[in-house]
């Protein structure tokens, strides 16, 4: 049992490590591959887009066809894709490798959690095991910037992908020997049309946002991307409303708590991933540090998240989702606004605390938002709600890199410096996050129903006023 726990945690660690280690290497990739900001955006978003759109289907796939099989297949695809990335002679090849990495991660991550859940049927043991699984996720996020800086300084950017090869090989060989197959015979069928339409729709919108900064917002190709994305997303909604087992049950969004929590999670992904995309670039290109020093200087955000995240669920259980999430978003928004006033000559002593405030703020939001989404649905749909919460965060991340990158691109096209463009991007991220803090402060509660109103008038206790306490924390990938 311990071997299974170690394997699943290591698999999730590898996936989460890749989320942050790439950010540290972006300046070296830009120089080595002779690409611009648009190329860097695609290097990040190609991976995040596939993870976001395939995550829900990956979990169903594992339940239907075998969790062990899907986990090991994900390891193989992710590891092979890492080799492709490390050998990429051009940015096009690297983006293709990142797409394959995203496919592997979307299979590996939900399958690892499914294996863990099946292996620990006792509630207390399961909670403890999932806690360790989530802890490894946090370690992967925290280690990424430092590991990326060391590897890039010593061996160049391809090393950040090659580090996955020995981890993947050990996971594969050990998994073949240790893991036992399990599946859910009653799992729903794969929603192929919904999956294809979601990937194509969000991908087309992302294309328009990224390419609009370099090609021009009135370019026929860019306008065509937006139009195609709109049509595909409308088709996705129509298809999901008409099938019996959709990948994303739209009826869940009739619950205000579910809708508001997932809307806020989009903003969290948008602001966190969109801003962190530029952290290393700020230190390297604006403050003229080495890539290793830049990796070290970005640590306050990830370390603050690792330290504060375990307490977020406890705070939400004590004070309620609305209070904790709104405070967290307000802190993160203020931290991002403060970063918008950092310049080339600003000493690090006046920078690190801004990064830490951003990390603390977002750490207070993610676990409570997921818990709020879970509480909004029936107990049988808790896993689905958690998966949707992860997906909406990843969608926000895709849009964050695209939109904030477009802001920087547009400012530079107008004659502004890269530094001024970054300031504008941080200010925009902060403003959106603060607006979301107001939004959750007003609406992150359970919706009142006619039955609640009648209960109040008759002197009974309204259901809508029950304490919004968090259930046992469930990690998200």
User: Is 70 exceeded by the pLDDT of residue 164?
Assistant: yes
pLDDT exceeds 70 at position 464: no
Which pLDDT value is given to residue 259? 94
Residues 68 and 204 placed together within one structural domain of the fold? no
Query: Residue 242 falls within a domain, yes or no?
Result: yes
Residue 461 above 80 pLDDT?
Answer: no
Q: What is the pLDDT of residue 264?
A: 96
- Give residue 20's pLDDT band: very low, low, confident or very high (50, 70, 90): confident
Average pLDDT over residues 395-420: 93
Cβ density class 212-224: b for 16+ within 10 Å, e for less: bbbbeeeeeebee
Same domain, 402 and 275: yes
pLDDT for position 131: 63
Q: Which helix (H) or strand (E) holds 266?
A: helix 256-276
**Residue 249, phi then psi, degrees to nearest 5:** -65, 110
Residues 109 and 231 in one domain: no
pLDDT, average across residues 288-295: 92
Q: pLDDT digits over 21-67, tens only?
A: 898 899 999 999 999 999 999 999 999 999 888 888 888 888 888 88
How high is the pLDDT of residue 430?
Answer: 97
Domain boundary among the residues 209, 225, 246 is at 246
Mean pLDDT of 314-336: 93
Residue 225 lies in a domain: yes
d(CA 288, CA 281): 9
Q: What is the pLDDT confidence band of residue 130, given thresholds at 50, 70 and 90?
A: low
Does 240 share its domain with 389? Answer: no
Average pLDDT, the chain: 86
Contact 405, 426 (CB under 8 A): no
Q: How confident is the model at residue 123 (pLDDT cuts 50, 70, 90)?
A: low
Dihedral angle over CA of 458, 459, 463, 464, nearest 10: 100
Identify whether residues 139 and 265 lie together within a single domain: no
Are 274 and 421 in a shared domain?
yes
Name the residue range of residue 37's domain. Answer: 1-179
C-alpha 431/C-alpha 436 separation (Å) is: 9
SS3 444: coil
Per-residue confidence (pLDDT) for residue 146, from 0 to 100: 85
- Residue 47 has a pLDDT of 93
79-105 tens-digit pLDDT: 999 999 999 999 999 999 999 999 999
Q: Which residue has the higher pLDDT, 323 or 13?
A: 323
In the predicted structure, residue 470 carries a pLDDT above the cut 70: no
Whether 398 and 286 map to the same domain: the answer is: yes
Please state the rounded mean pLDDT for residues 306-311: 86
Q: Which of 366, 302, 333, 391 minimizes the C-alpha distance to 51?
A: 391
Q: How many structural domains are present in the chain?
A: 3
Chain centroid to Cα 36, Å, comes to: 24
The domain spanning residue 56 has which CATH number?
1.20.1250.20
For residue 473, pLDDT over 70 is answered with no
Residues 124 and 159 grouped into a single domain: yes
pLDDT tens sequence across 349-404: 999 999 999 999 999 998 889 888 888 888 767 777 878 888 899 899 999 999 99
CB 375 within 8 A of CB 471: yes
Is the separation of the CB atoms in 120 and 192 below 8 Å?
no
């Amino acid at each position: 049992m311990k071997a299974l726990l170690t394997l699943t945690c290591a698999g999730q660690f590898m996936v989460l490590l890749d989320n942050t280690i790439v950010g540290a290497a972006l300046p070296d990739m830009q120089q080595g591959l002779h690409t611009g900001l648009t190329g860097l955006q695609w290097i990040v978003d190609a991976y995040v887009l596939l993870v976001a759109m395939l995550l829900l289907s990956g979990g169903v796939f594992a339940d239907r066809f075998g969790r062990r099989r899907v986990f090991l297949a994900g390891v193989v695809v992710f590891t092979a894709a890492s080799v492709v990335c490390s050998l990429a002679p051009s940015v096009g090849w690297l983006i293709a490798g990142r797409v394959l990495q995203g496919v592997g991660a979307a299979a590996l991550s939900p399958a690892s959690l499914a294996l863990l859940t099946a292996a620990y049927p006792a509630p207390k043991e399961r909670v403890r095991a999932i806690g360790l699984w989530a802890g490894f996720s946090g370690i992967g996020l925290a280690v990424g910037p430092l590991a990326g800086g060391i590897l890039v300084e010593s061996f160049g950017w391809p090393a950040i992908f090659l580090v996955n090869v020995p981890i993947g090989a050990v996971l594969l060989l050990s998994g073949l020997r240790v893991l036992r197959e399990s599946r859910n015979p009653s799992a729903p069928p794969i929603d192929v049309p919904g999956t294809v339409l979601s990937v194509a729709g969000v991908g087309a919108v992302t294309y328009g946002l990224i390419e609009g900064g370099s090609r021009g917002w009135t370019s026929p190709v860019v306008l065509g991307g937006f139009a195609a994305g709109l049509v595909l997303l409308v088709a996705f909604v129509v298809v999901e409303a008409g099938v019996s087992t959709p990948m994303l049950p739209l009826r869940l969004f009739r619950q205000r708590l579910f809708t508001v929590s997932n809307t806020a999670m989009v903003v969290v992904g948008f602001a966190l991933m969109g801003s962190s995309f530029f952290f290393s670039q700020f230190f390297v290109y604006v403050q003229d540090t080495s890539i290793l020093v830049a990796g070290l200087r970005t640590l306050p955000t990830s370390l603050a998240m690792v330290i504060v995240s375990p307490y977020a669920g406890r705070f939400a259980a004590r004070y309620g989702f609305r209070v904790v999430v709104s405070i967290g978003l307000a802190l993160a928004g203020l931290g991002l606004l403060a970063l918008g006033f950092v310049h080339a000559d600003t000493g690090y002593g006046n920078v690190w605390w801004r990064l830490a405030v951003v990390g603390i703020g977002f750490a207070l939001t993610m676990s409570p938002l997921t818990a709020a989404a879970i509480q909004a649905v029936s107990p049988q749909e808790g896993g689905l709600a958690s998966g949707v919460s992860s997906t909406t965060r990843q969608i926000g991340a895709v849009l964050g890199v695209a939109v904030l990158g477009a802001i920087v691109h547009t400012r530079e096209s107008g004659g502004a410096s890269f530094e001024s463009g970054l300031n504008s991007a941080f200010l925009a991220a902060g403003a959106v996050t603060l607006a979301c803090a107001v939004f959750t402060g007003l609406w992150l509660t359970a919706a009142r129903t006619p039955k609640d109103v009648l209960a109040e008038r008759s002197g009974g206790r309204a259901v809508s006023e029950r304490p919004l306490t968090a259930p046992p924390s469930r990690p998200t990938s």
